Every structure is written in C-alpha cells, then in structure tokens.
Chain A
C-alpha cells in the first residue's frame, strides 16, 4: 500500500512551473524582433561609388518670400509655464503671440494670407505664368519657390504652401539656408 502511494505521488508531478516558463518563452520569442539583434553584427559591405553631380537647367520660378515683420513673444502660460516637463523631459511648449509676417510675391508686398491666396490665384490664371513643359512638349504652370527669411516659422511656410496649392501650383520648392532668426 505504501509502495502504491509512492508511485501515485510520482505521477502527480507539478506541471505548472514548466507551463509558466514555456508561456514566458513563447511570448518572449513572439515579441522579440530578431532584426534588432542582427543589426548588431558587423557587416562589411561593398561601398557605393557615389552618385555623379548633375546639372539641372534652371526654369522660371515664382518666388514667394516670407519676411518677418514682428517675431512675436513666446507665451508659456497656456502650457504650464517656462520650464521642462518632468514627465517627458522636454521643454514646455509656448504659443507665439503677435507673430506677424509679410509676403513678397515677385516685387509685390502682401500683408495678409487672404490677399496672398488672391494674388497667387491671379498669377496662376495668368497665361504669362505658363512655361514650356519638356516632358510633354506642351506648357505647364511654372513652379514656385517659398523662401523663408530668418525668423519665419513652420506655420508660415505651411500656410504659404497651402495657399500655393490652393491657387493650383503643383510644384512648390522650399528655399532655405538663410540662417536662423535672432
């Protein structure tokens, strides 16, 4: 009887820890990205010879310049005051109050976004804005380049680009390299 008891106890080995471990391993292998590990291995790949520099023939472009009239002042009040957010470690946002820009389309100064939309629409409809299209042999609307002067904000460029798209300009280039604002 005692021997039978012993045998029965052996048969009741506890499977729970093993199943737990197996589940852990399954989740681990499902979730791990093997690519991350692979990228840590050294690889000696053939280097590219580099691309040749090319010359692109200049095309006529409409220049839209964004000049800053008033830089505006940073208002941190709405986003918890000036400082660093302890949760994210990033500086708090600010709202720029009193930021004002002036556009220059060709030689013409423009002081509001509505007037800019109107002026760009007028230029886009003007037959003189059509330039020869080398790909199709026909004509197309000239491209425009947005030149943001120092101190111009991303919002200014985005709204200018929006106005240009609204007017029908399909190719919009971004000028740059004019340096940071003061």
Chain B
C-alpha cells in the first residue's frame, strides 16, 4: 500500500512550469529569430573587385531580390513573376510606389531636395538595394532601375549587390586571398 502511494505520487508530476517555459521559448524564438535575414533570398551574387563594403547598411533601406528567372521578391513575397506578368511591369511600379508611400507614412523613408540639372526635385534620401543573381538577365534589373528613376518614385540611390567571392566558381577577390 505504501509503495503504491509512492508510485502514484511520482506519476503526478507537475507539468505546468515546463509547459510555461516551452511557451516562453517558443514566443521568444518566433519573434526574434530570422528578422534580419527574411529580406534576403538565396542568390549567388556576381564577384567584383571594386565595391563598397556593406558593413553598416542604412536601417530602413528597402531590398528587392531578383531571381534568375526575373521574379521580383520583396520581404519574401513575390510581386512580379515574368511567367505571369510578362512585359507588364506595372506590379514593379506599384511595389515601389507602395514602399515609398508606406515608408513616408511611417517616417522610415524621407524626402530631400536635390538639384537635378538646375531645378530642385524631391528625391528619396534612403537608398534601395537590388540583389540579383549573377545569372539573372540584366534586363530585369534595368527595368527596376527605370521604375526607380520615375519622378513619382524617385529612389535615386540605387545600390546593386555584389560579392567578394563567387560562390559558384569559388573565385575570390585579391583582398580576400591576400591574407591566406
């Protein structure tokens, strides 16, 4: 009888603190993990010797990803798919003007006056980064740049993402191999 009581007591272990802890951990990881990387698609960038290091990127810089087939992705969401939209680039324009509108409303993006050929125009102070795969047709990158230059969008600082190492061929910049 005594032994049976002990066994029963062991079975009644209190699970509440463990479940509490698990929930806390879950919430913590869901909210914290992968916030910085979600804007970056898995691409292989072309290698270039002459580039500026992107060590302290502007906090609110929008990042557009262009896949090999020309698909434009912003914040893990597809906005333009050549298979679906073809030569209709309106979704790209819509995306850029939405980024601009929401950014200005949230004050994450700002407008500045810039002298353009003698006249003053309002342009975006923040740059925009275009990340394209090395085997993405340039035409798609050019199309985004064209839309960026429209006066109603005016992202005039367009940055193109490059890499110091070609992850496909393994070629590295001299600056990387010098230390080895």
> Which chain A residues have a beta carbon within 8 Å of chain B's beta carbons?
16-17, 20, 23-24, 27-28, 31-32, 35, 38-39, 43, 45, 48, 50-57, 66, 74, 88, 90-91, 93-96, 99, 148, 150-159, 161-162, 165-166, 174-181
Chain B residue with Cβ nearest A72: B135
Interface residue B117 (Cβ < 8 Å from any Cβ of A)? yes
Question: Are the CB atoms of A158 and B48 closer together than 8 Å?
Answer: yes
Interface residue B27 (Cβ < 8 Å from any Cβ of A)? yes
Q: Which residues of A contact B142 (CB under 8 A)?
A: 148, 174-178
Interface residue B7 (Cβ < 8 Å from any Cβ of A)? no
**Complex: A3 Cα to B51 Cα, angstroms:** 81
Given A54-B119, A159-B46, also A23-B145 (CB < 8 A): no
Question: Are the CB atoms of B46 and A155 closer together than 8 Å?
Answer: yes
Question: Are the CB atoms of A166 and B69 closer together than 8 Å?
Answer: no
Q: Which residues of B contact A148 (CB under 8 A)?
A: 138-139, 142
Q: Which residues of A contact B27 (CB under 8 A)?
A: 24, 27-28, 31
Q: Which residues of B contact A90 (CB under 8 A)?
A: 41-42, 67, 71
Question: Are the CB atoms of B168 and A154 closer together than 8 Å?
Answer: no
Q: A176's contact among B48, B122, B143, B162, by CB below 8 Å, is which?
A: B143
> Which chain B residues have a beta carbon within 8 Å of chain A's beta carbons?
16-17, 20, 23-24, 27-28, 31-32, 41-42, 44, 46-50, 66-71, 82, 87, 102, 104-106, 108, 111, 116-123, 132-143, 145-146, 151-152, 154, 160, 162, 168
| 4 other A-B residue contacts (CB within 8 Å) besides A16-B16, A52-B121, A90-B71 | A94-B68, A95-B135, A158-B48, A162-B48
Q: Which residues of A contact B151 (CB under 8 A)?
A: 50-51, 53
Question: Are the CB atoms of A56 and B116 closer together than 8 Å?
Answer: yes
* Most chain B beta-carbon neighbours within 10 Å: one of A50, A54, A150: A54
**Complex: A161 Cα to B6 Cα, angstroms:** 78
Chain B residue with Cβ nearest A157: B138
**Complex: A57 Cα to B118 Cα, angstroms:** 10
* Most chain B beta-carbon neighbours within 10 Å: one of A23, A57, A153, A179: A153
Given A90-B42, A153-B134, A177-B146, also A35-B106 (CB < 8 A): yes
**Complex: A96 Cα to B133 Cα, angstroms:** 11
Question: Are the CB atoms of B50 and A153 closer together than 8 Å?
Answer: no
Chain B residue with Cβ nearest A96: B135
Question: Are the CB atoms of A153 and B146 closer together than 8 Å?
Answer: no
Question: Are the CB atoms of A20 and B117 closer together than 8 Å?
Answer: no
Q: B118's contact among A32, A43, A54, A158, by CB below 8 Å, is which?
A: A54
Chain B residue with Cβ nearest A148: B138
Question: Are the CB atoms of B48 and A159 closer together than 8 Å?
Answer: yes
**Complex: A154 Cα to B74 Cα, angstroms:** 19
Question: Are the CB atoms of A23 and B24 closer together than 8 Å?
Answer: yes
For residue A114, give the distance in angstroms from its CB to the closest CB of chain B: 13
**Complex: A155 Cα to B138 Cα, angstroms:** 8
Chain B residue with Cβ nearest A42: B105
Q: B168's contact among A31, A57, A95, by CB below 8 Å, is which?
A: A95
CB<8 Å pairs between A and B, sample of 16 = A17-B16, A23-B24, A48-B111, A50-B152, A51-B151, A54-B119, A56-B116, A90-B41, A96-B135, A99-B135, A154-B46, A157-B141, A158-B48, A159-B48, A162-B48, A165-B49
Question: Are the CB atoms of A154 and B132 closer together than 8 Å?
Answer: yes
